[in-house]
Chains A and B, each alone.
Chain A
Amino acid sequence: MTMLDRFAATFLDLDVAARYAPEMLAGLLVTLAIGLAVIVTGVGVGLALAVLRAFGFRALDFVLIQIVDILRALPPLVIILIIYFGLPNVGIVIPSFVVLWMSLSAVLAAFSEELFWAGITAIPTGQWLAARASGLGFFQTLRYVILPQAVRIALPPLTSRTISITKNTALGSAIGVNEILGQAISAEAFSANATPLAMAAALYVLLFLPLVIASRSLEHRYRAGRRGWTR
């Protein structure tokens, strides 16, 4: 057998692919559902926390910054394992997909709070003053003047951060969530063939490549006109 034949037999076995297609599809749905849930809660909570910081309560800000920094410093797998193995021993039993969703949402909330806040602080004070002087209230100023601009600024880095955290749904395989990678690992064990892994890889590319390309074009658009060094 040539190297190429061996590669095809190992990673591109069509029989195996057909046999495990339903499982892989189920895994895709789980990854999609958890990924979307993580994005909605993570970005939503992050935005809410950034708005909370706009009020400028010193003590609250201090606590918030510490929690955010801790969540940015801890490896997500460590958070997941502590919640997954620890809580049942103190009598709290939650399904593993909920553990995955909560952990990743917390991490994404921490990162996105930071990015939204950076966006809010990037808006010149004159915007606040002008809006308030024209008779808008604090909330109206925030809602109609500041946030639309801040979100635009935060969007490119937020997109790439969201992608890299949502990809971590694959960590669910370590705690028995039946997402794409988890399904692929068990299918690989049953079939003694690596085709399911190749299918998993293809599914991830299908899911995330459009997002990666979109984030690249977002970054490009916001950086337009600032072209630098060329060879």
Chain B
Amino acid sequence: MDALIQEFFNLSIMGRVAPLILRGLGETLLLCAFLVPLGLSGGLGAMLLATSRSRLVRFAAMVSIDFFRSFPPLVLLIFVYSGLPFMGIRVSPVLAIGVAFLLNSSSYYGEVFRAGVLSVPPGQSEAARSTGLSAGQTFLFVVLPQGVRNVLPELLSNTIELVKLTTLASVISAPELLHSADLARSLTYNSSPLVLAAAIYLMLLWPLVRLVRRMERRLVA
């Protein structure tokens, strides 16, 4: 029991590595602040293409969405980060993360947005068009707001997945929370820094998981 506490919940080690871990937390938050808007806008774009009036565009969009959903995000990340340099294209870790996660998360967000937009009854857009709104206005002010509201829980749980995904950045040694924690683990030869990082992820994401649970229950009721 004592050995377990020493290995996983060693407070003095946690205290010693706290500054390093907190810096990692800051970097993770920065990463999320840039990846979430990027993924959301990529997802909106993917949704627009996947609901296009042209059959060809729709088909191409669906194929590429399915294609990127078939890749483990880590494979995409390693492919961009360590494959492209062999072609003579230098990629910084942050750029690699941006590209790989944009492709991955816009496919997932795109599917969610598509489900939302398709859940709005056609009567809504017909009514909007007959009151004189243009197609663009109808989409922007009538269809999109209702569609997004219908899939709010899925959007949020997708965002939780994206935040969890940022831990993959540690594999290519990009600065973020898990990377700092793993560095601290190898310096102290003790797993407590990893447990501290886990606790921080829990503090960030547990409330959101509970929120998703509550939103889903309200939609069912």
Contacts and interface: CB of A to CB of B under 8 A. Distances in A.
A81 interface: yes
A99 interface: no
Contacts of A174: 171
Interface stretch (A50-58, A134-142, A164-172): A164-172
Given A78-B198, A90-B3, A213-B66, A230 B122 contact: yes
Contacts of B119: 226, 228-229
Taking chain B's interface residues, is the majority helix, strand, or loop, or is none over half, making it mixed? helix
A205 B198 contact: no
B72 A11 contact: no
Nearest to B192: A86
Contact of B72 (A74, A170, A188, A197): A170
A209 B67 CA distance: 7
A197 B82 contact: yes
Given A74-B202, A86-B191, A228-B118, A10 B83 contact: yes
Interface residues of B, number: 66
Which among B51, B87, B143, B190 has the greatest number of chain A C-beta atoms within 10 A? B87
Contact of B202 (A73, A168, A201, A229): A73
A229 B198 contact: no
Contacts of A231: 51-53, 135, 139
B24 interface: no
B92 to A, nearest CB: 18
Interface string A189-209: 000111001101100110111
A123 to B, nearest CB: 12
A78 B7 contact: no
A69 B213 CA distance: 9
A229 B120 contact: yes
Interface string A74-95: 1111110110011001110000
Interface string B26-58: 000000000000000000000000011100000
Nearest to A81: B194
A75 B82 CA distance: 23
Interface of B: 3-4, 7-8, 51-53, 66-67, 69-75, 78-79, 82-84, 86-88, 117-122, 124-125, 135, 139, 143, 147, 160-161, 163-168, 170-171, 178, 182, 185, 189-191, 194-195, 197-198, 201-202, 205-206, 208-210, 213, 216, 220
15 contacts: A6-B87, A6-B88, A70-B206, A77-B178, A85-B191, A164-B161, A181-B78, A192-B86, A197-B75, A209-B70, A212-B70, A227-B122, A228-B118, A228-B121, A229-B124
Given A10-B83, A164-B161, A216-B66, 16 more contacts: A10-B86, A69-B213, A73-B201, A73-B206, A74-B201, A75-B201, A78-B201, A121-B220, A197-B83, A198-B83, A204-B75, A212-B66, A229-B119, A230-B125, A231-B52, A231-B139
